[in-house]
Amino acid sequence: MGCMRYLSEAHLRGFERYKYSSIDTSFLSVYVMHPFWNYCVKFVPKWLAPNVLTFVGFLMTVVNFILIAYYDWGFEAANSEAGNTVPAWVWTVAAINILIYYNLDGMDGKQARRTGTSGPLGELFDHGLDSYSAALIPIYLFSLFGTHDLPPIRMFFVIWNVFLNFYLTHVEKYNTGVMFLPWGYDFTMWGVSGMLFVATVFGPEMYRFSIYGFTVANMFEFVLIGSGMVSSHPIIARNIYLSYKNKTGKMRPMWEMLRPFFAFVWLFVITVVWSFFSRNDVINKEPRILWILYGTIFSNIACRLIVAQMSDTRCDSFNVLMWPLAATVGVCCFPYYQQVFDTDLTSDTERWILYGLTIFSTLAHWHYGYGVVSEMCDHFHIRCFKITKQTVAAEEELQEVVEDAKPTENVEEV
């Protein structure tokens, strides 16, 4: 990576001490999915690195995004009175790919334990890619409803609800040291896949009916947002409170406990400004690219938080990718643009600015991810996508370092 390094010595020393602990109380996960994954992983060759499973699963979400975007770039296919113009087989492929992603995501940790290659790199790689999928997956469902039933401004808040649910889980771990796996994840994956399969069998037109003005899109928003408020947010707040009360967590001061929210809130505020006050209404003209831009920067913020909580270091309060975003929003929303510059910002100019910023942010985020993974591989003398004798030796050395770590009840290590 040349002279640019993303991990400090404090990060690397923290990774050496790190031990993953999680608590999973979901009945679907514990009694159905985990036994199923334990059975399936037996058929995976032992020479196959766990990160390969993780990456292949993530690629399934990317394939879905590209495939649906090809047939419905502007989320307008469902607006047709003749019915959704996306071919039926697309929904089938998308539903299957979601299940592949979900199951490989559940099997990668088991493959790591089975091959003796568990370590911090695997968790970071897994959760880092999951943060990107958090932006991609809800975009599939927007094509079921179209912009008539689910206008882009409402899509914006749906995506931010998904971001919040994902981010709060890692804020929780940043403060408690334990990953409390949310109930909603398993049901969401099955729900998304089920909705796509239903679109194959009965046609996506079934998502266009309404009862007394209450549409299926309204129900989708209500269930998604309501489930987080009921099954996730209060439980996370309680777990953090108990970790302070029982002195089992990181015991950070108040402002340090809240520090992960600073970058998250800054991103939300900046994106709200652009979405509502764009001079050319960019949210309705290029919603798909806008979601990718917001999702990419969110993923970078989430990845940096994951690095901080795993290495037990201080998280960032502001993300470097928000500087060009804030500058862009300032230009695209400046109210006196025509008076100052003697010309107005054209729609095409704002569109190309959006495309350029998305490309820049994506490349910067990819560079960050590649750099972090490379630095961890160099430090632990392992390879990301290959199991070697050095990999197993590094894992054994790491286990010796953390063997005195405090145990957690009802914990699964991966």
- Token duo for residue 214: 């209450």
- For 34, the token pair is 């985990």
Select which of 11, 34, 127, 367 is catalytic. Answer: 127
Task: Write out the two tokens for 353.
Answer: 């600015």
Per DSSP, 116 falls in state T
Residues 117 and 92 sit within 8 Å (Cβ to Cβ) = no
**Using an 8 Å Cβ cutoff, are 75 and 288 in contact?**
yes
Q: Which amino acid is at 385?
A: F
Q: Is 379 noted as a catalytic residue in this protein?
A: no
At a CB cut-off of 8 Å and minimum separation 6, what does 38 contact?
A: 110
The answer for residues whose C-beta is within 8 angstroms of residue 10's C-beta and 6 or more apart is 311, 313
Radius of gyration of the chain (CA): 22
| 3-state SS class at 289 | helix
Ramachandran angles phi, psi of 78, nearest 5°? -80, -10
Phi, psi of 23 (to 5 degrees): -130, 125
Task: For residues 182 and 166, give the distance between their C-alpha atoms in angstroms, rounded to a whole number.
Answer: 9
Per-residue tokens: 49:
């690195």
The whole-angstrom separation of Cα 248 and Cα 257 is 14
Identify the residue whose tokens are 């985020």.
Answer: 365
Mark residue 182 as left, alpha or beta (left: phi above 0; alpha: psi -120 to 50; beta: remaining): beta
Pure H helices in 232-346: 233-245, 254-277, 282-285, 287-311, 322-333, 337-341
Q: Would you please indicate which residues are annotated as catalytic (active-site) residues?
A: 127
